[in-house]
Amino acid sequence: MDNRLTPSDPPPDATLASTSKNSDIRLLAGPQGRLAEALRVFRIAAEFIRGFRALHFVGPCVTVFGSARFGESHPYYNMARDIGQRLARAKLTVLTGGGPGIMEAANRGAHESGGTSIGLNILLPMEQQANPYVDRFVTFRYFFVRKVMLVKYSHAFIVLPGGFGTLDELFEAITLIQTKKIQRFKVVLMGLDYWKPLLDFIQKDMVNAKTISGDDPQLITATDDPEEAMAVITGAGASSERQSRMRRRSWLGER
């Protein structure tokens, strides 16, 4: 295997992961000293800036979400790998959480087809490591900073079966579209057998209870057909015109 991993920052170690865990606990533990709060704001701002610098020139991206727990023999792994290949052939950058399972599969597919493959890793107590198929990875301490990056640099989400984290990212994306905080953003669910109970709940229970509008379920495209998924995504267009106007500045250390 040709390993093209070129991290934008060092991989995490146990000490850093532990520090990250403590940082999250302190952040969410209510008001603290003024100096501590001010310093935390600067650390969060620095993390945003590091993410902006690392991803500024990666081109139009599609984010692929899904469980970290599926091995390469699983059908959903193979589905994500196929999608990664198709996205790369369409000249779209594949963006994932950078970990194993579905994330690895999508990055792997892009890598195998000669595309650009990016991983946005998160420091966790169990030390999630970047998978070996990313061209670049950025490691974040804070979940919310990472989630901003995954939305900011994408024009579509492909969501395969996953757990609480996948559901969190799925519903945040749908909420941003529903409230018109983002535009021209497509959400494609793949793995119909897995998602059917959720889709039924959205299309029937939520609509009938009037907790969402009758046309809100149309914000999601559900399919197991990779060609249909790609048609939805490529039909949405990408911000290539804006990307083409951007120029690297060597004096800013951009490469």
> Is residue 252 situated within a structural domain?
no
- Predicted confidence at residue 75, as pLDDT, reads 97
> Is residue 6 situated within a structural domain?
no
* CATH number of residue 117's parent domain: 3.40.50.450
> Is residue 7 situated within a structural domain?
no
> Is residue 222 situated within a structural domain?
yes
- Predicted confidence at residue 249, as pLDDT, reads 63
Separation between Cα atoms, residue 190 and residue 159, nearest integer Å: 6
How many domains is the chain partitioned into structurally? Answer: 1
> Is residue 22 situated within a structural domain?
yes
> Is residue 189 situated within a structural domain?
yes
> Is residue 255 situated within a structural domain?
no
E strand residue ranges, 110-153: 117-122, 136-140
Helices within the chain (DSSP H only) = 14-27, 34-55, 75-89, 102-112, 143-152, 164-178, 192-200, 207-208, 226-236, 240-245
Separation between Cα atoms, residue 62 and residue 79, nearest integer Å: 15
Element holding 155 (H helix, E strand): strand 154-159
Report the pLDDT averaged over residues 138-153.
91
> Is residue 251 situated within a structural domain?
no
Q: What are phi and psi of 187, to 5 degrees?
A: -120, 120
Report the pLDDT averaged over residues 20-32.
71
pLDDT tens string 164-217: 999 999 999 999 999 999 876 899 999 999 999 999 999 999 999 999 999 999
Domain that holds residue 191: 14-236
